[in-house]
């Protein structure tokens, strides 16, 4: 089944064509347009500007992936769009256009949960993880450990009680004077940092449980940064050292909790997804750590860790292929818990 995927939950317009099933050709094309430049001047996402820009970009991007893949619009067999969680106006753009295109083309439509999209993105890679597995979702708005029995059967094992990991990266970057959005820039800067200079805490690792708290780390970064500035030290090196200490603290905290989670769930596979899973230190440390325990680690290529249409096309495909579809209406769910999703019920005649 050939599915068009549409992602507009925040500040990336993502579109993709994915063909699933035994004879499917997989990901045929995907394109992402990032609105970063528009929001940078405000230091964060401005919801109304995001909605307007999705309207401007969505149809041209859909045309682009059709052209790139040589697929005729008439061959598209289903449309998947992100319906939540996210910014309501931004979501409504993708939902309205996705549902309308499906109606115009006479094909089924499916509303996709953005975090289910992230969670299933590793299935776009070869080898794809088999079920069950534990998922570490680390993005701009979420930090969650999820027990995944099958598609749609999710149990949250732990999550952040305050900032998400990506949010903490972005806020710390801002404190250090890096341009928005700072996560990837902070990670680059950390490469030059001396890991011995500072040691930040590993929050909530001294007690049992799988919840996270990252907001205290940015306070540590702020205090360290203010001290070196007052003492007029070599600011460039100090900035890199603080970035390094922050990154080490986040990565090690995630490692400790993932270790506990795979033990508690008794699984042999761990997947990572969401923007922070593009982080190179996190990937290599997690690979090492889990290999030593006989656990296989899966994550998408870096461009499919952050928001994209490919993960939405794939997640939507799985549900459409199982016979699920939306009625002839659409809506957005700015708040939508992963645990509310239904498992995919196999068609009765199979
Ligand atoms: P959510 O998926 O929770 O709704 P989102 O869609 O905004 O949030 P993503 O697009 O998945 O989040 O990821 C963006 C986040 O990932 C940002 O916070 C960004 O700083 C972070 N990020 C991206 N690359 C890296 C990296 N290499 N190291 C650390 N953080 C990174
Ligand atoms: Mg984004
Ligand atoms: Fe996301």
Mean pLDDT by 10 residues, the chain (350 residues): 98 98 97 97 96 98 98 98 98 98 98 98 98 98 98 98 98 95 96 98 97 97 97 93 98 98 98 98 98 98 98 98 97 98 71
Q: What pLDDT is recorded for position 180?
A: 87
ipTM score of complex? 0.99
- Whether 138 has a binding-site annotation, put simply, is yes
User: Of all atoms in ligand 1, which is nearest to the CA of residue 280?
Assistant: 27
Q: What pLDDT is recorded for position 348?
A: 52
Going by DSSP bridges, is the β-strand pair 133-138/269-273 parallel, antiparallel, or unpaired?
parallel
Which of 168, 306, 337 is the best mutation target for the ligand 1 pocket, counting ligand atoms within 8 Å of the beta carbon and taking the most? 306
**Residue owning the nearest CA to atom 19 of ligand 1:** 183
139 lines ligand 1 (CB under 6 A): yes
Residues with CB under 5 A from ligand 3 (ion): 139, 307
Q: What pLDDT is recorded for position 96?
A: 98
Q: What pLDDT is recorded for position 233?
A: 82
Q: Pick from 16, 51, 235, 257: which is nearest to 136 by CA?
A: 257
Going by DSSP bridges, is the β-strand pair 109-113/78-84 parallel, antiparallel, or unpaired?
parallel
142 lines ligand 1 (CB under 6 A): yes
Matching residue, tokens 């994209």: 308
Matching residue, tokens 């996190």: 282
Residues with CB under 5 A from ligand 2 (ion): 10-12
Which of 276, 300, 338 is the best mutation target for the ligand 1 pocket, counting ligand atoms within 8 Å of the beta carbon and taking the most? 276
Q: Could you count the other beta carbons within 10 Å of the beta carbon of residue 131? A: 12
Q: What pLDDT is recorded for position 346?
A: 62
Which residues, other chains included, contact 206 with Cβ-Cβ below 8 Å and sequence gap of 6+?
none
Q: What pLDDT is recorded for position 232?
A: 85
User: Of all atoms in ligand 1, which is nearest to the CA of residue 279?
Assistant: 27
275 lines ligand 1 (CB under 6 A): yes
**pTM of the full predicted structure?**
0.97
85 preceded by a cis bond (ω within 30 of 0): yes
Q: What pLDDT is recorded for position 69?
A: 98
């Amino acid at each position: 089944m050939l599915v068009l995927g549409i992602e507009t939950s925040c500040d990336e317009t993502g579109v993709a064509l994915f063909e699933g099933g035994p004879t499917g050709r997989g990901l045929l094309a995907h394109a992402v347009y990032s609105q970063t430049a528009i929001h940078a001047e405000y230091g964060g996402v401005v919801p109304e500007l995001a909605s307007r820009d999705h309207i401007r970009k969505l149809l041209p991007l859909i045309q682009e992936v059709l052209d790139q893949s040589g697929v005729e619009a008439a061959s598209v067999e289903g449309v998947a769009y992100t319906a939540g969680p996210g910014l309501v106006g931004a979501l409504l753009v993708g939902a309205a256009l996705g549902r309308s295109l499906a109606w115009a083309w006479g094909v089924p439509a499916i509303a996709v949960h953005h975090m289910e999209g992230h969670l299933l993105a590793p299935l776009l890679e070869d080898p794809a993880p088999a079920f069950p597995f534990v998922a570490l979702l680390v993005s701009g708005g979420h930090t969650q450990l999820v027990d995944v029995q099958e598609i749609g059967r999710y149990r949250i094992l732990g999550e952040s009680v305050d900032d998400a990991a990506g949010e903490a990266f972005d806020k710390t970057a801002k404190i250090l004077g890096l341009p928005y959005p700072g996560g990837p820039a902070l990670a680059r800067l950390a490469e030059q940092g001396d890991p011995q200079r500072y040691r930040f805490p590993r929050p909530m690792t001294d007690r049992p449980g799988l919840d996270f708290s990252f907001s205290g780390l940015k306070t540590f970064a702020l205090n360290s940064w203010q001290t070196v500035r007052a003492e007029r030290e070599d600011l460039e090196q100090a900035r890199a050292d603080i970035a390094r200490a922050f990154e080490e603290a986040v990565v090690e905290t995630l490692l400790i909790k993932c270790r506990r989670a795979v033990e508690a769930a008794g699984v042999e596979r761990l997947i990572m997804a969401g923007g922070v899973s593009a982080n190179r230190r996190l990937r290599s440390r997690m690979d090492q750590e889990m290999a030593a325990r006989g656990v296989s680690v899966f994550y998408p290529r870096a461009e499919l860790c952050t928001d994209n249409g490919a993960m939405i096309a794939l997640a939507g495909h799985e549900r459409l292929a199982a016979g699920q579809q939306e009625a002839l209406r659409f809506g957005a769910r700015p708040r939508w818990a992963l645990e509310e999703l239904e498992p995919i019920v196999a068609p009765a005649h199979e």
